Amino acid sequence: MDIDHVSHANLAPSPRLFKAGAPLTGRIRVPGDKSISHRSLMFGALASGETRVRGLLEGEDVMATGRALTAMGAHITTRATAEGEEYLVRGTGVGALMQPETALDMGNSGTSTRLLMGLVASHAITATFIGDASLSKRPMGRVIDPLTLMGAEFTATPGAKGAQTLPLTMRGAYPAVPIEYRLPVASAQVKSAVLLAGLNTPGITRVIEPVATRDHTERMLTGFGAELEVEEVDGERIISIRGEAELIAQDITVPGDPSSAAFFVVAALLVEGSDLIIENVGLNPTRAALFTVLRQMGGSIEELGRREIGGEPVADLRVRHSQLTGVEVDPALAPAMIDEFPVLFVAASLAKGRTVTTGLEELRVKESDRLNAMAEALTSAGATIEEREDGLIITGTGGEPLRGTANSHVTTHLDHRIAMSMAVAGLASKDGVDIDDISPIATSFPNFMALLEQAQEADTAE
């Protein structure tokens, strides 16, 4: 896929009915990890030399990152290899990003927006960030606050409840001011934005993390040669980065995205007769808590050939249909599975007994209000849901299929994870689940439909 391809974000809605079918069997490989894909392009764009990236996720969100980096001076090309498409990123060097000539269109990607704001913050350039209708509702104040302390200046659009939203124009500061910043909420995006700003800031920039979040930024920056230290003090993580860094180009193999694998893991657990192997799944401990919770519920998820690739733990997952039992999910696990809760809600809807989730206020400011959206969607499909301010309480069917949505559409709110989660619900329903629009799935998982068909066809082919 060319980095300059046309976005699909504005295409007409594409409704689809998902219904029960064949078990999921055989072997599939999900696309590359989205978090690592974003960062491999960004760090490659700041490195000296040419970074080679294999297994990059070619979804809309990652392409938005690539186009923005190209607009600021990086050179990104692709070439075909025996192992698949390889991305070549020739960087500008830290501190050498160029003034973009037009606004940077982030599409639906909050990760692109917040991390790139961090990159720009310590460069003497001005950039305007725009996005689609969904992204333009998402709050940016949590990133604006620390970057303002470092010297960047912002003009943002007033959003609901006083939130600062896109379109947004920021003027970077050079030299920026190093800060010590304690995260008020558990957010890998905010942490990463501050660390990326610190790359081109004289002195030491520190982020204090009361609750650990995904650590891809720390792992990858260290791999690229940044001087970065992580300490644990009184249960908190203190991440320090020395500015005016020099990053060195790397060869990167992106592991399979655990957030993408999650949909197939849950589908295989729920659909009777399923026995599916998902290859090359990244199992970074700050990302893989969903699999822990599903095992607590009785799910059969076996790790095969556990190994390490580029500093990231990886394994093949064998998943077999299982009778699940409701659990009370430890809120301390939330940061390590925040994107996976929508599909966990689906699993809980078919479990035996109650599943209780708390501490999930963050889900209300994702691509949609995912707590409300999933509560409404699953209720419309026949699940028993109680929505609370910070989570859902779900009383499962005990393994019986959901009723389905009959003649009504599930509203996805342009949210790819709502669409894929409810597609999985449709596979475990009597009448099927009719989804209003599957086109947002392309933002993170462009071959979701093809892999689903492959997994179901493997059973019929045997």
- In tens, the pLDDT along 422-462 reads 999 999 999 999 999 999 998 889 999 999 999 999 765 55
Q: 325 and 192 share a domain?
A: no
Q: 103 and 206 share a domain?
A: yes
Q: Looking at the annotation, which residues are catalytic? A: 339
Q: 64 and 135 share a domain?
A: yes
Q: What is the mean pLDDT of residues 277-291?
A: 96
Binding site per annotation, positions for phosphoenolpyruvate:
34, 110, 138, 189, 370, 417
10 occurs within a structural domain: no
389 occurs within a structural domain: yes
367 occurs within a structural domain: yes
CB 20 within 8 A of CB 201: no
Which of 226, 253, 280 terminates a domain? The answer is: 253
Q: 195 and 302 share a domain?
A: no
d(CA 436, CA 178): 47
**255 token code pair:** 């592991």
Any residues with CB less than 8 A from the CB of 164 and at least 6 apart, and which? 139, 140, 141, 144, 154, 156, 157, 158
SS3 62: helix
4 occurs within a structural domain: no
106 occurs within a structural domain: yes
Average confidence score pLDDT of the chain: 94
6 occurs within a structural domain: no
d(CA 415, CA 135): 10
271 occurs within a structural domain: yes
d(CA 98, CA 113): 17
Note the pTM of the prediction, 2 decimals.
Answer: 0.85
**pLDDT category of residue 408 using cuts at 50, 70 and 90:** confident
Q: 236 and 364 share a domain?
A: no
C-alpha distance across the termini of the chain, in Å: 33
SS3 355: strand
Which of 253, 287, 313 terminates a domain? The answer is: 253
Binding site per annotation, positions for 3-phosphoshikimate:
34-35, 39, 187, 189, 339, 366
Q: What percentage of the chain carries pLDDT values higher than 90?
A: 88
Any residues with CB less than 8 A from the CB of 162 and at least 6 apart, and which? none
Which of 238, 253, 268 terminates a domain? The answer is: 253
Distance from the Cα of residue 369 to its chain's centroid: 16
CB 243 within 8 A of CB 264: no
**Given a cut of 70, is residue 300 above it in pLDDT?**
yes
**407 token code pair:** 């003649």
pLDDT in tens, 144-192: 999 999 999 999 999 877 889 999 999 999 999 999 999 998 899 999 9
Q: 120 and 184 share a domain?
A: yes
Q: 237 and 311 share a domain?
A: no
- Can you give the residue range of the structural domain that contains 276? 16-32+255-461
Q: 99 and 241 share a domain?
A: yes
- Say if strands 228-233 and 236-242 run parallel, antiparallel, or are unpaired: antiparallel
pLDDT in tens, 85-125: 899 999 999 999 999 999 999 999 999 999 999 999 999 99
Q: 181 and 293 share a domain?
A: no
Q: 108 and 157 share a domain?
A: yes
Q: 237 and 335 share a domain?
A: no
Q: 22 and 84 share a domain?
A: no
Domains in the chain, number: 2
* CATH number of the domain residue 63 falls in: 3.65.10.10
pLDDT in tens, 70-83: 999 999 999 999 87
Binding site per annotation, positions:
34-35, 39, 110, 138, 187, 189, 339, 366, 370, 417
9 occurs within a structural domain: no
